[in-house]
Amino acid sequence: MKNRASLITMTLYLLFLLIPIYWLVNMSLKTNTEITSTFSIYPQTLTFANYITILTDPSWYMGYVNSMIYVVLNTVISITVALPAAYAFSRYSFMGDKHLFFWLLTNRMSPPAVFALPFFQLYSSIGLFDTHIAVALAHCLFNVPLAVWILEGFMRGVPKEIDETAYIDGYSFPRFFIRIFMPLVASGIGVAAFFCFMFSWVELLLSRTLTAVDAKSIAATMTRTVSASGMDWGVLAAAGVLTIIPGALVIYFVRNYIAKGFALGRV
Amino acid sequence: MDKTQNNKAWFLILPVLILVAFSAVIPLMTVVNYSVNDTFGSNDFFWNGLGWFEEMIASDRMHAALGRQVLFSGIILAIEVPLGIFVALNMPKKGFWASFCLVLMALPLLIPFNVVGTIWQIFCRIDIGLLGHSLAALGIDYNYTNDALDAWITIIVMDVWHWTSLVALLCYAGLQSIPQAYYQAAKIDQASRWSVFRYIELPKMSGVLLIAVLLRFMDSFMIYTEPFVLTGGGPGNSTTFLSIDLVKMAVGQFDLGPAAAFSIMYFLVILLVSWVFYTVMTTLDAQETK
């Protein structure tokens, strides 16, 4: 009895999640005339023309390439600076540590809308406007605190005796950190990288403000095309489907850690 | 864990400090600078004191946007938190189906925000959307571009679709950490389903639930892209939330002074509420480790 109720609940919930996505996929496989003229719950004349448009037009597919570049850059930068900081927070108490930790967290809370304009001016004035590194640095605003938080949660679970033993055995700090400590928190690093990837990938406002042509992200490409060429629903839907794929792939790899990661390593 | 007292740990934090100082402090100070100055353009600034703050605190526009924002955050928290708990309780505990549910549920979380808006736009339009078309066929007068109430319902359903999984995943992680012995003890005591939930599951979930509420509050309070793509803040101003209004003011009208004063107050509100959550959270943490 209880199991059947659970089954029904989960089925309904998953259907609720999947139907809008299905509709997007459905749209992406139709021609524009079919979308606007007839209403059908599956494509009458199956077409891949929308996908071909995107994959052959540089102004479209470069959007994906640009997005991937700054997302990967951001993930690498965030994890690199967050690792030592998370170690410090999890192992030592020092002057102002609690305040500093909360201050870092406040950056995760600050609305990107507040920072959009100052970022634009800051990066324009140092000549980084419309480069991948500008977006990657801007996304550090919320990804670095997040990475520090998640990693700190995971590092807390590693017993301190390991550090002490390693120092007694004559390991220097960098060698200990890279050779012994990092493998121990590998799953934490994976989860933190996943979250940096995710939040950088889904963000639109800053990436749109900071790029114009050379580093234009896919999200920005999509919004601009909507306003410029009227409504090309088929291509828009196909572009949307293609943005979902990278996320779906990464999710599959970290599926067993997702829940713990969302709890910022604090379960 | 007892931590060693060592002020040299600051050196390990230095890279983060430099990076965040560059990407947060400098922009924030720019905003502060704008908020107390006035300009006639071309980088010609003069001191305006607290003028902009006084103007923004008294302005109806900000009150209206803030009111809508609070209402929105309140509604989505009231829906997503109970729904998320409910879904988590019904999820399969282990095996293939558990992974299957996890992957599908995490899917909406990884869709770029503007694509979320696009999905719901395509889904809800009367002419081409499954939902809009079906409702029209049933004779229900539904049009999210013209009717303020319909626009609100659409945005709320969209947000529930987008983020309930986050609450559910967090609660699921919390539920997984409850040892089986607790349930067995409850069975011996012949506890009802409700008491098991109330006295075992809920207390064990409180930590993660707090994180869930904190994250959902912060993110819903900063919501920009999804309603922007879906309704553009309309019809009229009915779905213009704080971020949308702010971007309109700063980038659209280039009213830097008021926009900056607005930003700072906006930031302070979020900071205040989050600080309360954070303090409660760390206190709970400390109690647990004792």
Q: Do B218 and A109 touch (CB under 8 A)?
A: yes
User: At B34, phi and psi to the nearest 5?
Assistant: -60, -35
Type of residue at B159 = D
Which residue has 């930003």 as its token pair? B263
Six-digit token string for A120: 């634009």
CA distance from start to end of chain B: 10
Predicted pLDDT at A1: 41
| Residue in B closest to A139 by C-alpha | B23
Q: Does the structural domain A56-262 have CATH classification 1.20.58.340? A: no
pLDDT under 50: residue ranges of chain B: none
Number of domains in chain B: 1
Predicted pLDDT at A266: 58
Nearest to B257 by CA among B77, B114, B44, B6: B44
| Contact of B13 with A99, CB cutoff 8 Å | no
Q: Do B103 and A219 touch (CB under 8 A)?
A: no
**CA-based nearest distance A157→chain B, Å:** 9
Task: Determine, yes or no, domain membership for B43.
Answer: no
pLDDT band at A215 (very low <50, low <70, confident <90, very high): confident
Residue range of the domain that includes B105: 60-289
Could you read off the pLDDT of A120-158 as tens digits, one per residue?
A: 888 888 888 888 888 898 898 889 988 888 888 888 888
Which member of B15, B122, B166 has the closest CB to residue A23? B122
Six-digit token string for A69: 């570049």
Task: Determine, yes or no, domain membership for B6.
Answer: no
ipTM of this complex prediction, to 2 decimal places: 0.81
> Sign of dihedral through CA atoms B105, B107, B110, B114?
negative
Nearest to B140 by CA among B129, B126, B161, B127: B126
Each domain of chain A, given as residue ranges in start order, spans 1-47, 56-262
Q: Do B10 and A218 touch (CB under 8 A)?
A: no
Task: Determine, yes or no, domain membership for B153.
Answer: yes
> How high is the mean pLDDT of chain A?
83
Task: Determine, yes or no, domain membership for B149.
Answer: yes
| Residue in A closest to B268 by C-alpha | A110
**CA-based nearest distance B16→chain A, Å:** 5
Predicted pLDDT at A78: 93
The SS3 assignment for A92 reads strand
Q: Do B87 and A13 touch (CB under 8 A)?
A: yes
Task: Determine, yes or no, domain membership for B176.
Answer: yes
CA separation for the pair A122, A239 (Å, rounded) = 31
Q: Could you list the beta-strand ranges (E) of A180-221.
A: none
User: At B4, phi and psi to the nearest 5?
Assistant: -75, 140
Reply yes or no on whether the pLDDT at A77 is more than 90: yes
CATH code where residue B270 lies: 1.10.3720.10
| Contact of B34 with B257, CB cutoff 8 Å | yes
Task: Determine, yes or no, domain membership for B12.
Answer: no
| Contact of B165 with A255, CB cutoff 8 Å | no
Could you read off the pLDDT of A79-127 as tens digits, one per residue?
A: 999 999 999 988 888 888 888 888 888 888 778 877 887 888 888 888 8
Strands A92-93 and B4-5: parallel
Nearest to B240 by CA among B71, B31, B53, B57: B71
Task: Determine, yes or no, domain membership for B188.
Answer: yes
Distances (CA, A) of B9 to A69, A100, A191, B57: 32, 12, 24, 42
- Cβ neighbours of B115 in A, within 8 Å: 219, 222, 240, 243-244
Which residue has 């992406």 as its token pair? A28
